[in-house]
Chains A and B, each alone.
Chain A
Amino acid sequence: QVQLQESGPGLVKPAETLSLTCTVSGGSISNYYWSWIRQPPGKGLEWIGYVYNNGNTNYNPSLKSRVTISEDTSKNQFSLKLSSVTAADTAVYYCARSGGTWHFNYWGQGTLVTVSS
């Protein structure tokens, strides 16, 4: 059974870079699309972007200038970096897997990241 687990700091200061890692177990990271999705408190989910096949990426235009998603196949992990964060980036961040049909059939449990000084 494929499992995803997010990890990273729960508190980030404004203007700094948020960094999260998703560790995948129970299956290879190769040949799937690996996305980051977030949910600010009291709001709906927002797709941030994906990485595919060790370098191909696609980002939400609303975040594109600040986002980098990468994968490390040797560790079966992929990562999110979001720069110049503000309080509006406070959210529960999820990692998720899909195929090319964009069904998110595996998700992590999510990790809360708070942006505050």
Chain B
Amino acid sequence: EIVLTQSPATLSLSPGEKATLSCRASQSVRGYLLWYQHKPGQAPRLLIYDTSTRATGIPARFSGSGSGTDFTLTISNLEPEDFAVYFCQQRSAWPLTFGGGTNVEI
């Protein structure tokens, strides 16, 4: 199965700063990489699919990039509501797999 490794595990930033999160795959996922935001006690929310396409209603400060095995989620100008856990998912091969998550904390 494809293993997704996210880094860093924790990112400590302040509102207004830029967050750069990494997701590395053990083999190419052909661009089929998604990002989710997860807050405690809430359902995860799809942010980005297929590397760089924002899901419906997602603000433009969230952007995704990358190819092959290396992908990045960038959150520019962090808002207070952006502090959460972010995890990646690949849909290139079965079984579907997820990364371990990055906690973006204040």
Contacts and interface: CB of A to CB of B under 8 A. Distances in A.
Interface in B32-85: 32, 34, 36, 41-46, 49, 55
B91 A107 contact: no
Interface stretch (A38-46, A70-78, A79-87): A38-46
By secondary structure, the B interface counts as: loop
Contacts of A58: 94
Contact of B43 (A46, A61, A107): A107
Contacts, number: 53
A25 to B, nearest CB: 13
A108 interface: yes
B95 A61 contact: yes
Interface of A: 4, 37, 43-47, 58, 60-62, 94, 96, 101-110
Interface in B7-54: 32, 34, 36, 41-46, 49
Given A44-B87, A102-B96, 7 more contacts: A4-B43, A44-B100, A47-B95, A60-B95, A104-B89, A106-B43, A107-B45
A103 B44 contact: no
